[in-house]
Chain A
Amino acid sequence: MINITNEFPPRLSTLKPAPILPESERKGLTKKETAADHPTWCPGCGDFSVLALYFKLIEKRAIWHEKITTVAGIGCSSRFPYFVQGHGVHFIHGRALPFATGLSLTRPDLHVFVFGGDGDAFSIGGNHLTHAARKNIKMTYVIMDNQVYGLTKKQTSPTSPLGFKSKTDMWGAIDHPINPVKQLVSAGATFIARTTSTNPKHVLEMMEAAMDHDGFSVIQCLSECVEFFEGAFDSANPRKGGAFTEVPADHDKTDEFAAYKLAAEPFPGKFGIHYQVQRETKNKLEADITGKAREKFKGLEDWQILQRNFDRMK
């Protein structure tokens, strides 16, 4: 009846086992061990800084090599996983979040990091951002926002400011840009932060806070495309005559109206955690459903549980 049975080894015989190292014998990773391919980004690209800080985060938080899981969609920034020595996924355009959701829900032992750009997050993958936020899936999503489509060489992006001249808006962009923080607040994200690649210390701080958040944590990181939107974020860079202003100390992070108001400030706005609340993650809610169901069938093997259903269908 069954042509292909279960009788084959789960792993190929060419795969040689390695010893299980006790944690005491393991050392944290250095940047050298964490770095993989040399990035394909243009010299001066803001994404280099984000990558360097991800390495720093891994080192600082002593994440074991095999636990590094980096997921990305498509875009310049989404090349990220190739540059990280760890389990990596380069998925299709806009769908990194649902992929990462499948991973996060089934593997509570891993903290999933997703990296991507503004096109991935707000345009082709916009619907997924909304639903990952409302479902509060445990993971960290770093959106490297350069306000332009860089990989395809300068088309208007969903966050391009009005008047931005691109190959698809030669007269200047006419579509109202998406405000990432407003979008995320209304979608129900539980952690929303803004940072900029030109402030490494702040990027790392936000990454750490995001990683520690039990839920869907999103960082909008301004990351300049020197090739197609040079100078876009000078106004946020003190070295270029701009100002890096942090979220005021008296800002109530749990007040969504305050977050919305803060997000409405003219560009470059404020940097830091705009919004953070605790809400049960889908990971936990699903685990609760599973736990309750398992309780009822305690001590039974899977086939015996299935047998009960079949007995009712006789």
Chain B
Amino acid sequence: MSDSTVASASSVPQPKFSKISEAVIRIAGNSQDGIQAIGGFLARLAGRSEQEVMTFMTIPSTISGGASIFQVRIGTGEVLSSGDDADVLLAFYQESYRNHLSSLRKGGIVLFDSDHVEPDPSKSSEFHHVGVPITSLTVEAIGGTARDKGKNIYALGLIARMFDLNLAKLEKLISERFAGKDESVTKNALSAFHAGYAYNVSGLVETFQFTDSSKRAGHQVVMNGNEALAYGLIAAGVRFGAGYPITPWSDIMELLRRELPKYGGMFIQCEDEIASISMAIGASYSGRVAVTGSSGPGISLKTEALGWAVMAEIPLIVVDVQRGGPSTGMPTNVEQSDLNIACFGGHGDSPRVVIAPSNVEDCFYVAIEAVNIARKYSVPVVLVTDQAIATRIEAFEEPDLKKLCQDLAPDLSPVQEFKPYDLQAPDGITRHLAPGTRIASGKYPIVTGLEHDELGHPTSSPKLHQQMTDKRRNKLKALAAEWTTPKVYGPPEGDVLLVGWGSSQGPLREAVEKARAAGDSYSSLHIRLLNPLPNGLEDIFAGYNHVFVVELNDQGLYGYGQLAGILRARYCDPKIRGINKSDGLTWKVKEILQRVKEQLTTLKQKN
């Protein structure tokens, strides 16, 4: 760690460092302890140090109290997942110690607050135990009676010492974080941080230094998936949104409410989910693609209006930040169980586009793609993300905003004539014409949910219903043909192909790396465009003996998850099989590998 500086004023003796390329740190406490803040500082520091970082958090679905964890994986190489096992566990309470010790690798370090944690002597041979009276030392450092306030920052100091993190950069981050608040807040935070840093943790435990980052020079930005998605929508030119509060979608709504006015736009909090989508469709109709969004239950409520947008061919973005379902389910846990509703939710044949980002960075780009698809094909696009991607923080290369930002101001210049549902249009692709546009012929369009003729007037003609149904379908087939076939991660031929979508791209790639290192012939394929499916997937599947679709949803009545079911229906290929789980947590790499091995063994026995 060439650019790190050990505090010169510190009286702590120079410690010995072991060089490491990555570390997984799990911080366990309660939801109001500010452990997300520690994780946030570490993630941001990694971003500024050209390191890779990925975080993982769980929060209880209660306002205050309840166990919460934040896991940070920092590395100088490629970081694909938030890590299976922690190298360091920071435990604030007895239950954090008890519940999370099992997530620590054998020989890992458990750093605990000895004011609250009584370590289990039977575990002392398995893990390095380091007790620090964090609570009392924090009070000592910043004085006052503030109960536990600041102990998170104290603990950050301990971690900074343990990993020889860049002191100056962290100080700057802390000052930035509390900028705008009372000066004493920053002063207290820095005091707590320095006290933690000065604590002789290096006398108690091995300390580490990250090897130099080989990352290319250039700026990284650090944010979570919800932020990346919301900023992506702004870059794409979206200037109107409407929504209703629901976890974990609300962050996007709040961010857009705060940011859109700067761009001349607005975000409206509505009375309910149905009003939200209706208002967004109304704004889209007025000429500029608008956004609505929700999670689980809210998406169910939106489906009637979504079907209208399909029928009326109005562009629209619907964000679905998936959580555990059905019904209220597990609001703060991850699941990929909304794919079916995204693709098929609603009555009648209502083809729409479904697209899912593969990581935090992709949330930004997928938002732009979704907006362009919606406009180009005059169709609603359901942008499916999930709780894990929404809340996890990653560092990624700063996008070229000047190049990417789009202006979508509607064109209201007059036209000779206009048919909103022109059946002669190639591939069935027509575009919406904003109200306020003069049509010289004097024949004006109606957009409607009734089956209609080319001008939008109602019809019960069997021929027209068939033709219009074809039109709505064919334009999505044109999109499938335009879309680039996804690339396989790993060799194009082999024994096993792992197929995934959404937030599991990283763990799948890491699983491929591990399997290949162990001599197994694995590759993976990540599908971003889920409806319509891109062309050419069958050729990819042909290169492997087994295709396992790894999803965070139930195996269903017939043994396949939601994407696996769609792929089997589409390709009629019996070698497509599902690997599924519904525990509300992201995939661990070892879980994936173990489940594949199990399936392969079962298949061998059957043969």
Interface residues, chain A, with chain B CB atoms under 8 Å away: 1-6, 8, 10-12, 14-21, 33, 36-37, 64-69, 71, 81-82, 85-92, 95, 97-107, 109-110, 127-128, 130-131, 286, 289-290, 292-294, 296-297, 301-303, 305-307, 309-310, 312-314
Contact = CB atoms under 8 A, between A and B. Distances in A.
Contacts of B261: 289-290, 292-294
15 contacts: A4-B369, A4-B373, A10-B411, A15-B416, A18-B415, A21-B438, A66-B438, A69-B436, A88-B447, A90-B448, A92-B305, A101-B268, A131-B270, A289-B266, A309-B259
A306 B483 contact: no
B401 A89 contact: no
Contacts of B219: 314
Interface string B21-62: 000000000000000000000001001100000000000000
B233 to A, nearest CB: 11
Nearest to A89: B447
B458 A107 contact: no
A99 B413 contact: no
Given A85-B442, A98-B282, A106-B283, 11 more contacts: A4-B369, A11-B433, A12-B425, A18-B415, A65-B438, A98-B242, A102-B286, A128-B275, A128-B278, A294-B261, A310-B399
A85 B416 CA distance: 15
Interface in B445-498: 445-450, 456-458, 479, 482-484
B242 to A, nearest CB: 7
Nearest to B279: A102
Q: Which 4 A-B pairs have the closest CB atoms?
A: A102-B282, A293-B261, A87-B435, A102-B283
Contact of B279 (A2, A4, A101): A101
Contacts of B262: 293-294, 296-297, 305
Contact of B240 (A2, A12, A105): A105
Interface of B: 44, 47-48, 176, 219-223, 227, 231, 234-235, 239-240, 242, 259, 261-266, 268, 270-272, 274-276, 278-288, 290, 304-305, 308, 365, 368-369, 372-373, 375-376, 398-399, 401-402, 404-407, 411, 413-418, 422, 424-425, 429-431, 433, 435-440, 442-450, 456-458, 479, 482-484, 529
B225 to A, nearest CB: 13
A131 B479 CA distance: 39
B50 to A, nearest CB: 11
A3 B270 CA distance: 33
A103 B282 contact: yes
A9 to B, nearest CB: 9
B442 A64 contact: no
B436 A87 contact: yes
A82 B458 CA distance: 8
B440 A99 contact: no
Which residue among B48, B305, B479 has the maximum number of chain A CB atoms within 10 Å of its CB? B305
Contacts of B283: 102-103, 105-106
Contact of B275 (A98, A103, A107, A294): A98
B438 to A, nearest CB: 4
Contacts of A110: 286, 435-436
Contacts, number: 246
A306 B227 CA distance: 12
B406 A105 contact: no
Given A3-B529, A18-B415, A289-B261, A105 B268 contact: yes
Contact of B266 (A130, A290, A309): A290
B401 A294 contact: no
Given A99-B278, A294-B261, A65 B442 contact: yes
A87 B220 contact: no
Contact of A99 (B282, B402, B406, B407): B282
Contact of A130 (B220, B271, B424, B479): B271
B475 to A, nearest CB: 12
A302 B263 contact: yes
A1 B365 contact: yes
A131 B447 contact: no
B179 to A, nearest CB: 10
B279 A92 contact: no
A243 B223 CA distance: 68
A303 B439 contact: no
A86 B444 contact: yes
A5 B405 CA distance: 11
B372 A303 contact: no
Contact of B416 (A18, A37, A302): A18
Contacts of A66: 414, 435-439, 444
A240 to B, nearest CB: 33
B171 to A, nearest CB: 16
A261 B439 CA distance: 48
A102 B265 CA distance: 12
A17 B415 contact: yes
B271 A18 contact: no
Contacts of A130: 271
A302 B235 CA distance: 8
Given A4-B372, A306-B234, A98 B449 contact: no
A85 B444 contact: yes
Given A18-B438, A127-B272, A131-B270, A91 B449 contact: yes
Given A90-B450, A286-B266, A106 B365 contact: no
Contacts of B265: 290
Contacts of B405: 301-303, 306
A110 B417 CA distance: 21
B457 A37 contact: yes
A91 to B, nearest CB: 7
Contact of A302 (B272, B368, B407): B407
A313 B222 contact: yes
Given A4-B372, A88-B444, A102-B283, A17 B413 contact: yes
A313 B223 contact: yes
A18 B279 contact: no
A12 B372 contact: no
B401 A303 contact: yes
A64 B414 CA distance: 13
Nearest to B305: A92
A294 B274 contact: no
Nearest to B430: A12
Which residue among A105, A305, A313 has the maximum number of chain B CB atoms within 10 Å of its CB? A313
Contacts of B266: 105, 286, 289-290
Nearest to B219: A314
Given A82-B446, A102-B279, A305 B263 contact: yes
B376 A4 contact: yes
Contacts of A71: 282
B279 A107 contact: no
Nearest to A40: B458
A70 to B, nearest CB: 9
A18 B436 contact: no
B278 A95 contact: yes
A249 B242 CA distance: 42
Given A3-B483, A131-B275, A102 B376 contact: no
B449 A92 contact: yes
